[in-house]
Chain A
Amino acid sequence: MATPRCFHCREDVPAGVALTVALDGEPQPVCCAGCQAAAEFIRDAGLGRYYDFRAAPAPRPEPVADDAWTTYDRAEIQARLVTRTGAAASVNLLLEGLRCPACGWLVERRLERVAGVAGIAVNPASARARLEWRSSEVALSALLRTIHELGYRPHLLGATDTLEVAARERRVALRRLAVAGLGMMQVMMFAVGLYAGAFSGMDPLLREYLRLVSLLVATPVLFYAGRPFLEGAWRALAARTPGMDVPVAAALLLAWSASVWNTLRGSGEVYFDSVTMFVFLLLLGRYAEMVARHQAGSTNDALVRLLPASALRIRDGRGERVAVADLAAGDEVAVPAGETFPADGTLCDGPALADESLLTGESAAVTKAAGDAVIGGSVNAGGPVRLRVTAAGHDTVLAGIVRLLERAQTERPALARLADRWANWFVAIILLATLAVAATWLVLDPPRAFATTLAVLVVSCPCALSLATPTALTVATARLARRGLLVTRADAVEALARADTIVFDKTGTLTVGRPVIRTIAMLGPADADYCRRAAAALEWSSAHPLALAFRNVQGALPQADAVHAVAGGGLEARLDGELHRIGSRDFVAALAGPAELPDCGLYLGRAGAWLARFEVEDALRPEAARAVADLAGLGLRPVIASGDHAPAVAAAANAIGVAEYHARLGPADKLRLVQALEQQDRQVAMVGDGVNDAPVLAAARVSIAIGAGAAIARTSADLVLIARGLGALPEAVRMARRTVTIIRQNLAWAAGYNLVALPLAAAGLVPPWLAAIGMSASSLLVVANAWRLA
């Protein structure tokens, strides 16, 4: 019989040991009294389930709808997601529902027992797993199914997964931090001994020994843990710019080499304690900043994760399970109740209930009718429906949003660039000042010159100055994204905080953007039905919000050729060969001839004849008045700039409580208006629908696009409001202002600290170790202050 293994620690039980522990009434062998006690402790604390998790996970099979996993065995899908080296394949997984370390453990243990699995490592903190297997022995689908049976839903992640990268970065940073921390503790211990010895007399041999050991410990701390700083300094020097790592690296190398020299020659001061402490504290500051950055990145990741991996495509009346990547525009897919819409599309049947909360931050599900557009990533909260795909993969709204977010996160905001430039100047000044200090002290008091020079270098590191802005912006951006406002440009937050005028487009911005035809007044020879169909034909291809009013017109539309839009006027086209116009009174009058008609509503006419006047109505957003009042309370002057006719705009302005409004503005007029405002030194925030208002949005100091459907993905606006409702705007302004306040505090603190500490250090009042603490505390304070925005 094989040697029994200890139930607790899984080591072999030594011969002659007959200890057991009773678990669920079953005696289990243990190797020693310690393991026995530990097992009893776990059992008595009511945690006996831990052993089940660890040893023999009871499969909890759950019926899998169709079989979603076999899709992953197909080569074209694996090609994108699976990395292959010879017979071995590996893939990164995200395990949905993974919450605790024991769960991660469970998955590892379960998969390790599957033949063909070469390795599985689960990180419970980020719910990520890396799975390696030999594809000749086991199919990926079988492994995924196994994981799913345990109660976790695996998602495949692309080969270049950002979270994986972030996790690796964090791992390395933690390792460096650990090396620095442990080394620091050791060296500090020796340093205490050395200081004590310096006071009470110490045997030189012991002193030499302690110094030598300190050297041995401090060296890897500097060159392994401190490598980022040394490399940063090297890069800065190679680029001939004084980066902020330069004084840090200079201080570290100076202190270390002087200490090495003094250790070897057996006299003089050593600074190994300051070196290790400085490295450790600097790393701590960078780590805090990195965590903030990664949290912002996880927003993108959460969005990407919204899309399911496979979908049920309907072809020739039969459903087949395909990867979402295989979907193309025009496909029809079935979306069961409770599942996620796999792509953008229009509903084939309805009504349906779509929950877009993950995209918009809005919790209530929206009712959609057949023909309505649905955004991929929202959840089908109603019964099963069919969807006609209009955009899949990289063309979806979701993909566009992620691209926008990535753009903001990779851009460096002007404020940060400014701080960097200051920091560069600052560094140059520090280096010069340090030389001056060193020279002065060499003349006045040579023995203290080195320590003082060192302290100056350390104390004046502008790390806090460089961290002040980006950390605050990162935290604020992540917070705004959670509230449904995406920041797509790094400078947007600051600009929004400064805005003092807010210009709204009316249609689709202050109104819900679902216009309906209220009345039709017949003006000419044609009947109402013809006029409706003619108008619908003209408006068919228009992206103007009002065009939506004609979408539901029934009957065969006349053939429209040579359609073209005249900005601020309307549309012109040949309908069955005859030129027609729809639009403002003056625009149509140019074709139909002069007439005494009021300048409101949409006119339809052809050469020499007025046909009809449509009154189109678009309801105001219910929250518009409240949001505008809030914004006014924040000191922003609200202005409405609309292309609509004056009575409609006036009515809307009155209802919302806006005193200043402009009607009948084409895009060029709106642009002029915004430019005029800016010439009066107003900081204009422009809120529009993203497509029709693109030029104005681009001209305004800060632009906010109201997202609806596909348009948001292509917008150039600085901010995109994907939450339905304007209520997020006042909050965003407040948030932006707080962010700028925090940035100012951070900059003031960082600059103030450096200004105060530098003279003190130069005067020789700050020992190097205190300088290290002061400088690092300053950085940590700045990062902690930024965290208040979260």
Chain B
Amino acid sequence: MSGAWPAPLLGAALALGLAGSLHCVAMCGGIAAAVGARLSAWSRRGQALLFNLARLGGYALLGGFAGLLAGGVAGHGGVAEHSGMQGPARWPRLVAAILMLALGIQLLAGRDWLGLERAGAAVWRGLRPLTGRAAALPGMWRPLALGVLWGFLPCGLVWSALALAASSGSAPAGVLTMLAFGAGTLPAMLAATLAGQAALGRLGGRNPRRVAGLLMLAFAAWTALGALLATAGGHGAA
């Protein structure tokens, strides 16, 4: 990457992942618990980690593609270009805030508003046949392959994060953004893999989707506030 370290972008992606944790547990807690329950006892932790890290690998792949595509489309000069060390970049954070806002509303409304999941579903259809083959792999390869595929599941949250990654405008920055996002989801999903969804089941109360939506809105507001203040800072410094 050419010099610019997209720290604000990574921060925003991490926050998006953290904010989305509840949503992750609601949607994918089942997968995590189902795979987790099948892991043999003594190497459980290692395998659970592998499984989840592989998911991050899947995200990273997607992020790389997104960054590459966006970079190609926009010519050179994605957001990362503007996010040098000189001033806190406002764009990535604003984009993230807007995405979070949209996702929050989508979660509250309970419908695929942005069409993101439908778009993802189209991609997923191509990959689905691989699941059976991945599940048949021996030893360490099984959690690894399943985890990567897991990363490709059509999920609104992932696709919002991808939009963020695309906004970085370069493949490495896209990879990093998605890794940061994945890291944000890691604590909750790792817990779900190891402890089972039951342990986290009550996390969102009776209506986890609504709670996740509200939380997402709150994070959106916070991120936007930060970005706007940073904007003010940017002008001040200029």
Residues of A within 8 A of B (CB): 8-9, 11-12, 14, 17, 31-38, 40-42, 44-47, 50, 54, 99-105, 108, 122-125, 178, 182, 189, 192-193, 196, 200-206, 209
A206–B88 CB distance below 8 A: yes
Most buried by B among A34, A50, A182: A34
Residues of B within 8 A of A (CB): 7, 11, 14, 18, 26-28, 30-31, 33-38, 41, 85-86, 88, 110-112, 117-118, 120-121, 124, 128, 131-132, 134-136, 146, 149-150, 153-156, 187, 194-199, 207, 209, 226, 229-230, 232-234, 236-237
B11–A189 CB distance below 8 A: yes
6 contacts between A and B (CB under 8 A): A33-B112, A34-B121, A45-B146, A50-B30, A101-B36, A206-B236
A33–B86 CB distance below 8 A: no
- Given known pairs A14-B110, A46-B132, the reply for A101 and B199 (CB within 8 Å) is yes
B232–A40 CB distance below 8 A: no
B154–A108 CB distance below 8 A: no
B11–A206 CB distance below 8 A: no
Q: What are the residues of chain A within 8 A of B120 when measuring CB–CB?
A: 33-34, 37
Q: Residue of B at shortest CB range from A200?
A: B85
Q: Residue of B at shortest CB range from A125?
A: B195
Q: What are the residues of chain B within 8 A of A122 when measuring CB–CB?
A: 198
Q: What are the residues of chain A within 8 A of B150 when measuring CB–CB?
A: 41
Q: What are the residues of chain B within 8 A of A125 when measuring CB–CB?
A: 195
CB distance from A512 to the nearest CB of B (A): 38
Complex Cα–Cα for A122 and B198 (A): 8
B117–A34 CB distance below 8 A: yes
Q: What are the residues of chain B within 8 A of A193 when measuring CB–CB?
A: 7, 88
- Given known pairs A33-B121, A34-B117, A101-B36, the reply for A41 and B31 (CB within 8 Å) is yes
B198–A104 CB distance below 8 A: yes
A206–B232 CB distance below 8 A: yes
B233–A35 CB distance below 8 A: no
- Given known pairs A33-B154, A34-B156, the reply for A50 and B37 (CB within 8 Å) is yes
CB distance from B103 to the nearest CB of A (A): 12
B33–A38 CB distance below 8 A: no
A101–B131 CB distance below 8 A: no
Q: What are the residues of chain B within 8 A of A54 when measuring CB–CB?
A: 30
Most buried by A among B187, B198, B236: B198
Q: Which of B154, B187, B196 is close to A100, meaning CB atoms less than 8 Å apart?
A: B196
- Given known pairs A50-B30, A99-B41, A206-B229, the reply for A37 and B197 (CB within 8 Å) is no
Complex Cα–Cα for A40 and B38 (A): 17
B153–A38 CB distance below 8 A: yes
Complex Cα–Cα for A102 and B196 (A): 7
Q: What are the residues of chain B within 8 A of A34 when measuring CB–CB?
A: 27, 117, 120-121, 153-156
A42–B237 CB distance below 8 A: no
The 4 nearest A-B residue pairs measured at CB? A101-B196, A203-B233, A44-B131, A206-B233
B111–A45 CB distance below 8 A: no
Complex Cα–Cα for A520 and B226 (A): 100
Complex Cα–Cα for A35 and B112 (A): 12
B33–A105 CB distance below 8 A: yes
- Given known pairs A33-B154, A37-B153, A45-B134, the reply for A202 and B237 (CB within 8 Å) is yes
Q: What are the residues of chain B within 8 A of A203 when measuring CB–CB?
A: 232-234, 236-237
Q: What are the residues of chain A within 8 A of B41 when measuring CB–CB?
A: 99
B198–A105 CB distance below 8 A: yes
CB distance from A11 to the nearest CB of B (A): 6
A47–B232 CB distance below 8 A: no
Complex Cα–Cα for A108 and B33 (A): 15
Complex Cα–Cα for A34 and B156 (A): 8
Q: Residue of A at shortest CB range from B229?
A: A209
Most buried by B among A44, A125, A178, A205: A44
B149–A41 CB distance below 8 A: yes
Complex Cα–Cα for A9 and B199 (A): 16
Query: For chain B, what secondary structure do more than half of its interface residues adopt (helix, strand, loop), or is it mixed?
Result: helix
- Given known pairs A35-B27, A38-B27, A206-B229, the reply for A45 and B131 (CB within 8 Å) is yes
A45–B85 CB distance below 8 A: no
CB distance from B141 to the nearest CB of A (A): 13
Complex Cα–Cα for A196 and B236 (A): 17
Most buried by A among B155, B207, B232, B233: B233
- Given known pairs A44-B128, A192-B7, the reply for A37 and B121 (CB within 8 Å) is yes
- Given known pairs A34-B27, A41-B31, A192-B7, the reply for A101 and B197 (CB within 8 Å) is yes
Complex Cα–Cα for A36 and B30 (A): 12
Q: What are the residues of chain B within 8 A of A124 when measuring CB–CB?
A: 195-196, 198-199
Q: Residue of B at shortest CB range from A39?
A: B30
Complex Cα–Cα for A105 and B196 (A): 8
Q: What are the residues of chain A within 8 A of B198 when measuring CB–CB?
A: 101, 104-105, 108, 122, 124
Complex Cα–Cα for A125 and B31 (A): 19
- Given known pairs A108-B198, A209-B229, the reply for A42 and B31 (CB within 8 Å) is yes
Complex Cα–Cα for A206 and B228 (A): 10
B85–A47 CB distance below 8 A: no
Complex Cα–Cα for A47 and B26 (A): 18
- Given known pairs A33-B117, A44-B128, A45-B146, the reply for A205 and B232 (CB within 8 Å) is yes
Apart from A33-B118, A196-B7, 12 more pairs, CB < 8 Å: A11-B207, A11-B209, A32-B117, A34-B117, A41-B131, A45-B35, A45-B132, A50-B34, A100-B38, A100-B196, A124-B198, A193-B88
CB distance from B236 to the nearest CB of A (A): 4
Q: What are the residues of chain A within 8 A of B110 when measuring CB–CB?
A: 11-12, 14, 31
Complex Cα–Cα for A45 and B143 (A): 10
A104–B229 CB distance below 8 A: no
B195–A101 CB distance below 8 A: yes
B27–A9 CB distance below 8 A: yes
A205–B153 CB distance below 8 A: no
Q: What are the residues of chain A within 8 A of B196 when measuring CB–CB?
A: 100-102, 104-105, 124
Q: Which of A9, A46, A50, A196 is close to B26, meaning CB atoms less than 8 Å apart?
A: A9
B28–A38 CB distance below 8 A: yes
A202–B121 CB distance below 8 A: no
Q: Which of B33, B135, B146 is close to A102, meaning CB atoms less than 8 Å apart?
A: B33
Complex Cα–Cα for A252 and B88 (A): 30
Q: What are the residues of chain A within 8 A of B86 when measuring CB–CB?
A: 200
Complex Cα–Cα for A104 and B33 (A): 11
A42–B34 CB distance below 8 A: yes
CB distance from B43 to the nearest CB of A (A): 14
A202–B117 CB distance below 8 A: no
Q: What are the residues of chain B within 8 A of A14 when measuring CB–CB?
A: 110-111
Q: Residue of B at shortest CB range from A181?
A: B187
Most buried by B among A99, A124, A204: A124
Complex Cα–Cα for A100 and B33 (A): 9
Q: What are the residues of chain A within 8 A of B112 when measuring CB–CB?
A: 32-33
CB distance from A318 to the nearest CB of B (A): 44
Q: What are the residues of chain A within 8 A of B30 when measuring CB–CB?
A: 8-9, 38, 42, 50, 54
Complex Cα–Cα for A105 and B237 (A): 56
Q: What are the residues of chain A within 8 A of B134 when measuring CB–CB?
A: 45
Q: Residue of B at shortest CB range from A106?
A: B198
CB distance from A194 to the nearest CB of B (A): 11
Q: What are the residues of chain A within 8 A of B14 when measuring CB–CB?
A: 189
Complex Cα–Cα for A444 and B18 (A): 46
Q: What are the residues of chain A within 8 A of B232 when measuring CB–CB?
A: 203, 205-206
Most buried by A among B37, B128, B233, B234: B37
Complex Cα–Cα for A607 and B194 (A): 79
B195–A196 CB distance below 8 A: no
CB distance from A269 to the nearest CB of B (A): 20
Q: Residue of B at shortest CB range from A35?
A: B27
Q: Residue of A at shortest CB range from B85?
A: A200
CB distance from B212 to the nearest CB of A (A): 11
B85–A201 CB distance below 8 A: no
Q: What are the residues of chain A within 8 A of B85 when measuring CB–CB?
A: 196, 200
Q: What are the residues of chain A within 8 A of B135 when measuring CB–CB?
A: 44-47
Q: Residue of B at shortest CB range from A108?
A: B198
Q: Residue of A at shortest CB range from B86?
A: A200
Complex Cα–Cα for A17 and B41 (A): 40
B38–A47 CB distance below 8 A: yes
Q: Which of A47, A105, A182, A200 is close to B35, meaning CB atoms less than 8 Å apart?
A: A47
